[in-house]
A and B are shown apart, each in its own frame.
Chain A
């Protein structure tokens, strides 16, 4: 089966796509930290952060709709976190004493802005490079090998597990006109177990095939990454912008 929901825009040809993955990892994660470190209740600075983000998006040539869709996926969590405060104020009856003031809403707004900016940055990171290059970057940055190896295998097998899910779904639906008579929970439980067992069996075979090709516990490195002048320029401009906003606004 074909899948394109993970690397849909990773092969575009933009300034951002051309950068070394390590540059992007360092810059975008630093930016996330800067944004998150904004004091509670801050909102003005985000105007500037979002301007920088918009410029990055423009440079990446990734469609706005794609970004919005991605942000939508995380929305339930973010909204819950942001609304917790005003709701608890209301339920606590504090509004009666006039305490539910503008401040609480500004506070929630700042949480929202922070969270979306962080997600925005991560979406930019994951959609401006191929996953295997990001992994390679992580490996070259000496992140623990086990972490990158697990991510690599997960990336590979997420598609297979999803295929297994679709296949078992079809098998289930093709034999179940209408409602399941043996109870929904049991059917879904069995299906999950089946997917799990199949994935486990597959993991075993894959390991055998790795062994048969001389695997000794380490993934060998095949291609090199190169840190060039544009990487330097991008890193400096981007970090300076974020730090200036953080410090002076």
Chain B
């Protein structure tokens, strides 16, 4: 059986005004795969993510599960693709946690009862039982991040795309988040500048630099090509040397 692709991006270019952010990007991500997109700041990672769910649209082709992202297919695309934004403040806009988590399912046309069940299940999955009626501005940053993830998971997307999921998290929370990500029954895309956690949990990675894909491979393959990682400011050698120094 040929591989089925959850995401196919072909020759995608996009510019903010005159500044190009993506230049002829092509990528294929298999269904069920955990795929990392790493690259230095300003490489165009977030811009690429916004194309997967039709929030931005540039020149070129983006297909989700074989379905081209067009104006007409947007409702279907948004049902399939869940985006977890970097900053939970951007994602949480309802007065209570419960309403925020219910927002997506209700927009999918679920009844109140069904949405309620989804809310309960997802909050349980995220270890957030008892948070239903809290206001998101009363939560800690880590809790907000988990609620933000819950708002997306409640829609049961086939593809979950995370923008910088590991930023501002303490090491224990990074580990916890990796466990959650690994337990998801969906295709996962992780966009990050933090190369180690991404390498830890992805099957394959792509390196994006100045709007172009300059390499795709398994974590081991990419880690072997130190020269290229160094060139993109993503070298792991620095961390290795610290670990050595600390006898870890």
Give A contacts to B, CB under 8 Å.
1-3, 7, 130-132, 135, 152-153, 155-157, 159-160, 202, 205-206, 208-216, 219-224
Q: Which of A135, A156, A220, A222 contacts B93 (CB 8 A)?
A: A156
Residue in A130, A132, A202, A214 whose beta carbon sits within 8 Å of that of B90 in the complex? A202
Interface majority SS (helix, strand, loop, mixed), chain A? helix
- Cβ of A220 to closest chain B Cβ, rounded Å: 3
In the complex, are the beta carbons of A2 and B83 less than 8 A apart? no
CB nearest neighbor in B for A215: B107
How many Å lie between the Cα of A216 and that of B152 in the bound state? 16
B178 lies within 8 A of chain A by Cβ:
no
With the chains together, A3 CA to B135 CA distance in Å? 10
CB-CB < 8 A to A202: which residues of B? 89-90
Q: How many A-B residue pairs have CB under 8 A?
A: 95
Whether A212 touches B137, Cβ cut-off 8 Å, given contacts A152-B94, A152-B95, A156-B93, is no
Query: Please, how many angstroms separate the alpha-carbon atoms of A209 and B92 in the complex?
Result: 9
Q: How far is the CA of A210 from the CA of B115 in the complex (A)?
A: 17
> Which residues of chain B come closer than 8 Å to A206, judged between CB atoms?
90-91, 93
Whose C-beta in chain B lies nearest to the C-beta of A135? B95
B103 / chain A contacts, CB cutoff of 8 Å:
210, 213, 215, 219-220, 222
* Residue B108 CB within 8 A of the other chain: yes
| Interface residues of B, count at CB 8 A | 38
Give the interface segment out of B4-12, B15-23, B74-82: B74-82
B224 proximal to A (CB < 8 A)? no
- Do the beta carbons of B93 and A153 come within 8 Å of each other? yes
Q: Return the chain B residue nearest A132 by Cβ.
A: B95
CB distance from B107 to the nearest CB of A (A): 3
Contact partner of B107 among A152, A208, A213, CB < 8 A?
Answer: A213
* 8 CB-based A-B contacts, threshold 8 Å: A153-B93, A206-B90, A214-B107, A214-B155, A222-B103, A222-B112, A223-B112, A224-B112
How far does the Cβ of B163 sit from chain A's closest Cβ, in whole Å? 10
> Complex: how many Å from CA A1 to CA B140?
8
- Are B95 and A222 in touch, CB under 8 angstroms? no
The 10 closest A-B pairs by CB, nearest first: A132-B95, A214-B107, A220-B106, A213-B104, A205-B90, A159-B137, A222-B102, A212-B83, A209-B91, A208-B55
Q: A1: which B residues are within 8 A, CB to CB?
A: 137
B222 in the interface, Cβ–Cβ < 8 Å?
Answer: no
Would A221 and B138 count as touching, CB distance under 8 A?
Answer: no
Residues B107 and A216 in contact, CB atoms below 8 Å apart: yes
User: Judging by beta carbons under 8 Å apart, are B138 and A3 in contact?
Assistant: yes
Q: How far is the CA of A132 from the CA of B108 in the complex (A)?
A: 22
CB-CB under 8 A from B102, the residues of chain A are: 220, 222
Asked whether, in the complex, the Cβ of B55 is within 8 Å of the Cβ of A212, the reply is: yes
State the Cβ distance, A243 to closest chain B Cβ, in Å. 34
Q: What CA separation (Å) do A150 and B55 show in the bound complex?
A: 23
In the complex, the answer to whether A221 meets B112 with C-beta atoms within 8 Å is yes
Q: Is the CB of B135 within 8 A of A210?
A: no
Which residues of the partner chain A approach B93 to less than 8 Å between Cβ atoms? 152-153, 156-157, 206, 209-210
User: CB within 8 Å of A: which of B57-92?
Assistant: 75, 78-79, 81-83, 85, 87, 89-92
